[in-house]
Amino acid sequence: MDENTLFAVRNLYYSGNYNQVIADTTAPRHRAQASAATAHEYDLFFFRALIALKNYAKVAQEITESHALGLQALKAQAVYLDAVQSADTAGRDAALAHLREMLQVQNPDDQNPEATALEVKVVVGQVLASEGLVEEALGVLLPHGNHLESVAVVVQIYLQMNRLDLAKKEVEACKSWAEDAMLAQLMEAWVGLRVGGGDRYQNAYYIYEEIATSSTSPTVKSMVGEAVCNIQMGQYPEAEGILQEALTKEPTNTDAIVNQIVLSTLLSKPAEEINALVQQLQSVAPNHAYLQDLDLKSSLFDRAAQRFAVA
């Protein structure tokens, strides 16, 4: 029973159904039957779901020094993300330094130190990659020893580095031992969308569609995935309908907003409509990477325009 429930919880988390993850990992009927190892995994996914929902304060408050090291890493990640969200540079640097230090911590009472080390490495790798420290992140995560979540972060980093060859190699190797895992299928979709081509886009769409239909109600995460595939295939009306539904479900979802901005631009929507979406993103996530990139390109354009200005 433990493994079946954990399998369901993992898939709920990877598909973006974070509220259901919280409900299932705290359900008394699951907790009563759980072994110590299973209870720990419930805790991991419970706090990961809270982080995904940006409830950083609750994570930081509930995880203490008495908790396992893997959970303490999640607390440090929550503190880091909260600092990023609030543009607290000092807090961000302190949290990053603390995460690096955690790589060296060992608990002599830990019954499964290898699993704990992997839990910490996944969190540290994610944070380092988000900082653009991709080489350091890979140094933390590799070799991954066929640990599925480590592989997923490594694939994301290779895509971030535009090393599609290495990302494809990781996915192909992963399919030999975890082909049916939802996370492995998601990796295949990520790579397919970056490599491109009609068949790859279509295959990625089928993956997101299957994930969306695996629950009673598709999650915003899976819907955004479907919309991105439709955009890549040039099916703009279909993408627009999916994104509008996603934003109705979750108006503050930054991935949905950004893709709606991209789609609106492709559809030559009025500038006022696109600007309204940009302002919506600014109100939700003022430090979002898309906005930073937009500011940079606007600055570069203004600088170039000045060179041709009439004196």
Q: What is the pLDDT of residue 74?
A: 98
**Beta carbons within 8 Å of 101's beta carbon, 6+ residues apart:** none
Q: What is the pLDDT of residue 127?
A: 98
Based on the number of CB atoms within 10 Å of its own CB, is 179 exposed (0-12), middle (13-18) or buried (19 or more)?
exposed
Please give the Cα distance from 77 to 70 (Å, whole number).
Answer: 11
Half-sphere exposure of residue 66: CA atoms within 13 angstroms, side-chain side? 2
Closest CA to 277 of 303, 254, 295: 254
Contact indicator for 221, 18 with CB cutoff of 8 Å: no
Please give the Cα distance from 141 to 204 (Å, whole number).
Answer: 26
Q: What are the contacts of 155-163 at 24+ separation with CB within 8 A? A: 155/187, 155/190, 155/191, 156/129, 156/190, 157/125, 157/129, 159/190, 159/191, 159/194, 160/129, 160/134, 161/134
* Helix, strand, coil tally for the chain in percent (to 5): 75, 0, 25
Q: What is the pLDDT of residue 303?
A: 80
Q: Would you state the structure tokens that stand for residue 250, as one six-digit string?
A: 């979750």
Half-sphere exposure of residue 209: CA atoms within 13 angstroms, side-chain side? 9
Residue 105's SS3 state is coil
Torsion of CA 80, 86, 87, 91, to 10 degrees: -40
**Beta carbons within 8 Å of 228's beta carbon, 6+ residues apart:** 193, 239, 259
Residues of the chain with pLDDT under 50: 1
Helices (H) and strands (E) in the chain, counts: 18, 0
Q: What is the pLDDT of residue 141?
A: 97
